Amino acid sequence: MAFKFKGVDFIGFDALLSEDERLTRDTARQFIEDNLIPVIEECNREGRFPRELVPQMGELGFFGANLHGYGCAGMSNVEYGLVMQEFERGDSGVRSFVSVQSALVMYPIYTFGSDEQKDYWLPLLARGEKLGCFGLTEPDFGSNPGGMRTRARKEGDEYVLNGEKMWITSGTIADVAVIWAKVDDEDGRVRGFLVETDRPGFSAYDVHGKWSLRASVTSGLSLQDVRVPAKNLMPGTDGLKAALMCLNQARYGIGWGAIGAAMSCYDTALQYSQVRKQFRDQPIASHQLVQEKLTWMITEITKAQLLSLQVGRLKDAGKVEHQHISMAKRNNVWMALECARLARDILGGNGITDDYPIMRHMMNLESVKTYEGTHDIHTLIIGQSITGVPAY
Q: Provide the strand spans (E) within 100-175.
A: 132-135, 151-155, 158-169
63/356 with CB nearer other proteins: 63
Q: Are strands 132-135 and 158-169 parallel, antiparallel or unpaired?
A: unpaired
Continuous H helices in 71-180 = 77-90, 92-99, 107-112, 115-127
Does 245 sit near other proteins (CB under 8 A)?
no
Q: At 60, is the secondary structure helix, strand, or coil?
A: helix
| Three-point CA angle 234, 55, 23, nearest 5° | 95
Query: Cβ–Cβ contacts within 10 Å for residue 74, how many?
Result: 13
Phi, psi values for residue 338, rounded to 5°: -65, -40
Nearer to other proteins, 249 or 364 (CB): 249
Under the binding rule (CB under 8 A), the answer on residue 122 touching other proteins is no
By CB under 8 A, residue 6 contacts other proteins: yes
Binders of other proteins among residues 53 to 92 (CB under 8 A) are: 59-62, 65, 73-75, 79, 83
**Least distance between other proteins and beta carbon 128 (Å):** 13
Q: Which stretch binds other proteins (CB under 8 A): 6-14, 198-206, 256-264, 384-392?
A: 6-14
Binding other proteins by CB under 8 A: which of 13, 16, 22, 189? 22
348 binds other proteins (CB under 8 A): no
CA distance 259 to 250: 15
Q: Is 132 in the site for other proteins (CB under 8 A)?
A: no
Minimum Å gap between C-beta 88 and other proteins is 17
Question: Of these, 10, 11, 20, 51, which contacts other proteins (CB under 8 A)?
Answer: 20
23 forms part of the interface with other proteins (CB under 8 A): yes
In contact, 199 and 168? CB cutoff 8 Å = no
Whether 372 is catalytic is yes
Please tell me whether residue 359 binds other proteins under the rule CB under 8 A.
Answer: no
266 binds other proteins (CB under 8 A): no
Options 15-23, 190-198, 202-210, 264-272: segment touching other proteins (CB under 8 A): 15-23
Q: Give the number of residues in contact with other proteins, rule: CB under 8 A.
A: 23
Instruction: Report CA-CA distances (Å) from 198 to 151, 153, 178, 226.
Output: 19, 20, 14, 10
CA distance 183 to 153: 6
Nearer to other proteins, 6 or 51 (CB): 6
Sign of CA dihedral 343, 216, 133, 140: positive
Nearest CA-CA partner of 83 in 239, 254, 233, 208: 254
Report the catalytic residues: 372
Q: Note the residues at the interface with other proteins (CB under 8 A).
A: 4, 6-7, 9, 14, 19-20, 22-24, 27, 30-31, 59-62, 65, 73-75, 79, 83
